[in-house]
Amino acid sequence: MEVGARYDYGFQFALEQLKIVFPDLDEAKLGEMDALNRIVDGKLVPFAPSSAT
């Protein structure tokens, strides 16, 4: 398994654990999470390579 796939698998596994530990979490909000998102001013924003800005 390549590194990127392992990283994504680990992230998805962490999300599944959140769903078990916190069953009342809004699944739509969890769906907004992505391993490549960044946090800017307390909000999730999609990753953009620095050359794209």
In the chain, where are the structural domains located? Answer: 3-52
* HSE-CB for 37 with a 13 A CA cutoff: 13
Can you give the pLDDT of all 53 residues of the chain as single tens digits?
Answer: 799 899 999 999 999 999 999 999 998 988 888 989 999 999 999 988 887 55
pLDDT of residue 52: 54
Q: What is the pTM of this model?
A: 0.70
Within 8 A by CB and 6+ apart from 30, the residues are: 15, 18, 19
Give 20-30 pLDDT, tens digit per residue: 999 999 989 88
